């Protein structure tokens, strides 16, 4: 997601996912040419371990895409996901490695397009009302601006990789309710963030289905493991800030990876 070194709270507010669209699993051996696209949730931000040559894209050996590639012994892995990416960045910078030989594409994108960083900042530092307003603004962008951006991005992926299975992995709900050690991060704020997550999920899943792609819902996988849970799979406010409100190592390995594996077989 957008680099948040200058923002309290890092990315991901209405982070979500939606119902997984029914699709037959396919053998991993059929996905030897794999491309992983998207933002920081795809690159593995939050894991605190990154490839030296990935620069500001912060690609991690603990990202769900890298874990899947390692487990399935793919012969060609194009890890193009980049922290901070919006849909325009995918279209401009991440499609060159796709071809008719690409057999699997995964992507997580859309959170930065609706302003995750600013929403998280407002919810952490502002009042309940300010958080509600910030999430509402993100929801409006999700409903009114994001569909066309996703349609363009998905069409470009299909054009660049006409024979690939494409899996769109959604975002988890970020927070858990109940006791929390983060000052002023009320249940009302956390619930409002999760409500916004569901709006984003609905938009992304709908556009993925319209494109003929498979939508992978990560919300159930992360249930009970959000920020403020007893066993967090998502980082709370962190140092460095870019790690904040992103999955940790467990989130990628125990949350995202099993969801992807349930689709790929």
Distance of CA 36 to the CA centre of its chain: 12
Any catalytic annotation for residue 246? yes
If we measure between CA atoms, which residue out of 126, 155, 133, 122 comes closest to residue 9?
122
The active-site residue out of 18, 40, 176, 197 is 40
29 vs 96: CA distance, rounded Å:
23
Measured from the Cβ of residue 215, the count of other Cβ atoms closer than 10 Å reads: 24
Helices and strands (H, E) in the chain, number of each type: 10, 5
How many Cβ atoms sit within 10 Å of the Cβ of residue 36? Answer: 27
40 is known as an active-site residue: yes
Catalytic residue among 83, 108, 225, 246: 246
- Please list the residues that pair with 260 across neighbouring strands: none
Catalytic positions, please? 40, 246
């Amino acid at each position: 997601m957008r680099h948040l070194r200058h923002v309290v709270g890092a990315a991901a507010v209405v982070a979500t996912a939606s119902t997984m669209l029914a699709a037959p699993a396919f053998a991993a051996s059929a996905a030897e040419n794999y491309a992983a696209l998207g933002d920081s949730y795809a690159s593995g931000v939050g894991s605190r371990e990154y490839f030296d040559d990935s620069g500001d894209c912060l690609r991690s050996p603990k990202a769900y895409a890298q874990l899947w590639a390692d487990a399935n012994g793919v012969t060609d892995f194009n890890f193009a996901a980049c922290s901070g990416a919006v849909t325009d960045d995918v279209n401009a910078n991440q499609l060159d490695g796709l071809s008719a030989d690409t057999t699997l594409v995964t992507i997580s994108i859309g959170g930065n397009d609706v302003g995750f960083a600013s929403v998280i900042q407002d919810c952490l530092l502002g009042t309940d009302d300010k958080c509600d307003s910030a999430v509402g603004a993100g929801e409006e962008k999700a409903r009114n601006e994001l569909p066309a951006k996703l349609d363009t991005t998905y069409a470009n992926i299909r054009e660049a990789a006409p024979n690939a299975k494409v899996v769109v992995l959604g975002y988890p709900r970020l927070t858990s309710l109940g006791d929390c050690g983060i000052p002023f991060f009320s249940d009302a704020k956390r619930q409002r963030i999760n409500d916004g997550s569901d709006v984003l999920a609905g938009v992304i899943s709908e556009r993925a289905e319209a494109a003929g792609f498979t939508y992978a819902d990560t919300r159930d996988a992360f249930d009970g493991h959000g920020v403020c849970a007893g066993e967090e799979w998502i980082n709370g406010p962190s140092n460095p800030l870019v790690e904040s409100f992103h999955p940790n190592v467990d989130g990628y390995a125990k949350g995202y990876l099993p969801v992807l594996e349930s689709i790929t077989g």
